[in-house]
Each structure stands twice: as C-alpha cells, then as structure tokens.
Amino acid sequence: MIKPHGSDELNPLFVYDTQKRHALIAEAETLPSLLLNSAAAANAVMLGGGYFNPLTGYMNLADALSVAEKMHTVDGLFFPVPILNRTSQDGISAGTRIALRDPNVEGHPVLAIMEVDAVESISEEQVNFMAEKIFRTLDPKHPGVATFSELGNTLLSGPIQVLSFSYFQSDFPDTFRTAVEIRNEIAERGWETVVAFQTRNPMHRAHEELCRMAMEQLHADGILIHMLLGKLKPGDIPADVRDASIRKMVEIYFPPNTVMVTGYGFDMLYAGPREAVLHAVFRQNCGCTHLIVGRDHAGVGDYYGGFDAQTIFDEEVPSDALELEIFKADHTAYSKKLDKVVMMCDVPDHTKDDFVLLSGTAVREMLGKGIAPPPEFSRPEVAKILSDYYQALDA
C-alpha cells in the first residue's frame, strides 16, 4: 500500500489505549482549559485520525509563515496549509499542559490535551500574509478569509493527544472514518490502486461518471467517495442529506465492492488550489493512490481560475513531495449527441447546446418546486432526496 505522507507508518494522535485515554480525560479535569474555535477543533480531529500525518500537533509561527509562503515547514516538511491553534484567550503560558475543549458539542467536553511549547502573538500583517498566500485574496466576502481573519491573534503550538472525534462519530456513525480505518478497509478489500473523490456536495450524473472514467482509465480497484462532514458556508447542503443521496446513488448504480462511502471531520476552507493540495496529502494518508481534481476544486465564487487547482500541482508542488498522483478532470456533462456523460475536452466538435447544462440555482429552484431535473443531469432517486430537502426548507 502507498506510504503515508512524511513517514513509513501512519501516526494518528488519537489515544487508542482505553485505559490511558480515560486517565488523560481525568487529568484534563485538573488542567487549565481552552475553548477552541471550530477551525482548531477540526484540526485536532484531523490530527487525531492520522489525516495530517506526520504532524504531531499545532504549528508554531515560524512554521506557519513558512508553510503559507513556501508550502514547507522550517525543517523542510512539505505541507500546503498551516495547521494552527489560534485563540483570543489570555493567561496560557509556554511549558504548561492544557485541556482543549470542544466548541461544537454541548457542555464543551475535552477534545485533546496539549503540551504548550510556545505562545506567540500574530500581527495583523502576518495574518494577512498567510491569508493572501492560502486563499489568494483578502476579500472579506470570501468565506475562508472571513473565518481565518477572526480566529484570534495568539498562536499556541505544540504536540497534542486527541481524546475524542467530536460530534462526527456520534452524528455520522456509518460515514465518519479516520485515515487509520480507511487504510485498514482498503487493505481488507485487497485494493491496490484507489481513486479518491472529494465532495462537499451531492453527486449528480457528471460526478458519478467521472468516478467511472477515473476507475477505467487508471484500472483502479476501487473509489473512495470522501465527503466533508464539518462546517460549510450558508446555503450549502447539510452532510446528512448529501450522505443519503450519495449512498443511494452508489447502492443502485455501482457494482458491489467498488466504492467506499466515507466522510471526514473538517471544516471547509474554500481555499481552492491550496485546499486541493491538502486534499491530496490526507488522501495519501488514507491509502489512496490517486485523487480526482476537477474544475474549480475546493473553490468558491470567482476567486480561482477553473483549473488552478490542477496547475498548482505542476507549478508549485515539488515532484517528490507526494506519492499520490492527480487525475485531472475537465468539466463533465451529458452529451445529447453521444447519449452519455463526457469530458468536454474530449468532444471538440460539440457546442454548448449539445450538452445538458443546468446552473446550481436552476437545479435548486426545480427541486424546491418538486420538479425533477432531467435524468441526464441527476439520477431520479438522488433528485427525490434533494427535492424533499429543498421543499421542506421552503415549506
């Protein structure tokens, strides 16, 4: 199986030993507490699950600035975005152990214990420098920039021991999986070539066929459909609705033992190219050999060019940084001429009128009125689940 990023073995930070974990939870009640923001909590969950291997905790300021600028730490470890614990809380000192509490679960239970190696102040200029590098914009209307700018100007760095996977295990017991669990299941299935498909949306016919195209061209053993389960911008479809629609599509339209439907506990960054590279890092940690990167991968609005998330791998990611490879996908749509879904780049004789193309707004309006999109665009079983959701919103 493909090696994890940066090490021979995956090193998840979750404390799997039950006796040790209970002892640490008891110790946490005697320690000073920090209520995390959702971004830092999501980073802890990802560190716990092995997704951010080989990191051992939150980055310090020097590493954060280096990663933002050059995509590697001061010591040279390739990493595409800073993994931070920023706060506005005072009174925390370097050299102490603190309990990190979960902002997303009632009662704020302990999420992790942290050894605070350093407490550093971040200037507004440094926050803007990192935001500009990560998001390629400082526009406060960009949802990622808006969140990043408000996380606090005190940076806590150091190793953590993760004691919980927050609400993800309880709310999504059939879907949330750690990188450890995904690697184990890939091994159990005997898959060698595994293609990851990232999604924060339901999957329409074009997405479904794109997975098939990648499998066929790469002679893959299976597809990992890997959905984000954390926080999104307003208007995005909730994880439980996406989960139900994707599972229905896989159940009906894919052969058995060719698809794993899973999810991960992270908040969307909407960082376009940089987030695409982060997706590649943690899919390699999952055991995947390839990641599908399509048009406007991890983008939002008009902040990124349609294929910037592909060109970053050619222009900015060192050739030896990752073992995982990218499957580059063009815009995909149903061809009326050929009566099948195609990549637009493969049919230069087509005009716009030869495709079934619908905007997201048009699809939402149709679903909200109980009108199913054309079957060439969306499977009827998937459309029914989404229609029920939108009609309930409008009721």
- Out of 21, 200, 247, 364, the active site residue is 200
DSSP 316-348: TS-TTS-SSEEEE---EEEETTTTEEEEGGG-T
**Alpha-carbon gap, residue 381 to 246, rounded angstroms:** 10
Strands 355-356 and 332-335: antiparallel
Provide the token pair at 343: 């990549």
Point out the catalytic residue in the list 97, 201, 247, 364. Answer: 201
| Per-residue tokens: 336 | 């009326």
**Whether 200 is catalytic:** yes
Across 225-256, b (16+ Cβ under 10 Å) vs e yields: bbbbbbbbeeeebebebbbbbbbbbbeeebee
How do strand 290-293 and strand 194-199 relate by DSSP bridges? parallel
CA distance 14 to 188: 22
End-to-end Cα distance, the chain: 49
DSSP state of 241: H
Task: Name the region of 298 (left: φ>0; alpha: ψ -120 to 50; beta: rest).
Answer: left
Residues 6+ apart with CB under 8 A from 216: none
DSSP three-state, residue 236: coil
The CA-atom distances, in angstroms, between 251 and each of 35, 225, 259, 262, 276 are 40, 13, 9, 14, 28
**Interatomic CA distance for residues 132 and 112, integer angstroms:** 30
Catalytic residues: 200-201
